[in-house]
Amino acid sequence: MSAVTEGNRFMRNELSGLFSPFSCKSLDLASRFVMSPMTRQFSPGGVPDENVAEYYARRARADVALIVTEGVGVDHPSALGQGSMEEKDIPVLHGEHAMYGWREVVDRVHEADGKIVPQLWHMGALRQEGTGPYPEARSLGPANMGEEEISDVIAAFARSAANAKALGFDGIALHGGHGYLLDSFLWEQTNTRDDEWGGDPTRRLRFPVKLVEAVRDAIGPDMPIIFRISQWKLQDYDARLADNPEDLGAICKALASAGVDIFDVSTRVFSKPAFNGSEMGLAGWIRKLSGCPTMTVGGIGFDKELAASFTEQTTAIDNLAEVVRRFDAGEFDLVAIGRALLMDPQWVRKAEAGEPFKPFDISAYSRLD
């Protein structure tokens, strides 16, 4: 392992590209390392408190350039609900108390020289009816949404995005993957409508495109919009949003034209080839097809992917050589770290210095360290 010294800091020079700056619209980052969104359920009544502020600030102080928050419920009664005791502890981005809490979070991250964006979230039909902050609300998906509900949900995302801008967030992230509402409109298995909101690939795009356009109108031209996209769904890990590059390109180009600036490409393993005939991962294909910067995530820092890590022995590893190889090949622009940063807030600094990482610890999911 070779190294250089910057000031008083030791750096593995093979990682120098990952510690180079990145800019997109008004967002300027000191490095390419991002904290991936992870549901935490530590915001009582939907309000992030001091513990949440410190949780994010701790990672910003340790050189995580950009924080993408846990999923945040948009301003619609059907947005959240999982059927657990903590179902009301997922944060929202509306209401006086939640807004005050998020302002504290934003200020603390900025004081630590970090940047932060909220991931706006609607669970769609994956929400369990009778649960969440508004148990009386019915769960919504492509099959049962009328024109008024479609308009209301789009407006809810726009309001929440405007709230985020008012609080000083550095951009907007939209959860468009994993089978949640936006993704369910894109996926042919869940969007079986035969009207203007579904029925063929072009019409399946209409809802997420209109929603992105509404968010862009709400926040103006300068703030970046980050869109999480995935092949896999929570209800089907082997699902495919697109079976070939042409179909994937149509989706990503439409979203980019609507206002998406960066694609957050969620995979189980970042290095897994996306299509036959090429070793390139999904982030690389989306970057190539859309012309937009991409963020890779999935399996960095551990020898098991997310689902397997809950049932199998999981070991912390340094697999940054493969990250660097693909970064240098132009597959992605940003590197998002999930579980590894959950276990070890100092992970980026340790990566930089070549120090050992903390071991996998499943109990970290029940703490806000």
User: What residues act catalytically?
Assistant: 180
The phi, psi pair for 161, rounded to 5°, reads -65, -40
Query: Would you mind telling me the total number of residues written for the chain in this entry?
Result: 369
Cα angle value 137/138/144 (rounded, 5°): 145
Number of DSSP helices (H) and strands (E) in the chain, helices first:
11, 12
What would the two tokens of residue 47 be? 């309000």
Which residue from 358, 293, 290 is spatially nearest to 330, judged by alpha carbons? 293
CA 269 to the chain's CA centroid = 15
Two tokens, residue 158: 């726009």
Give Cα 146 to chain centroid, integer Å: 28
User: Cα dihedral sign for 133, 138, 143, 144?
Assistant: negative
Question: Could you count the other beta carbons within 10 Å of the beta carbon of residue 94?
Answer: 17
For the four alpha carbons of 220, 153, 227 and 306, in that order, the dihedral sign comes to: positive
Contacts of 140 (CB under 8 A, 6+ apart): 78, 122, 124, 125, 127, 149, 153, 181
Task: Report angle CA 46, 367, 299 to the nearest 5 degrees.
Answer: 100
Burial category of 227 from C-beta neighbours within 10 Å (exposed 0-12, middle 13-18, buried 19 and up): buried
Tell me the C-alpha to C-alpha distance, in Å, between residue 247 and each of 29, 180, 194, 316, 349: 32, 20, 19, 36, 39
- The answer to whether residues 318 and 364 touch, using CB atoms and an 8 Å cutoff, is no
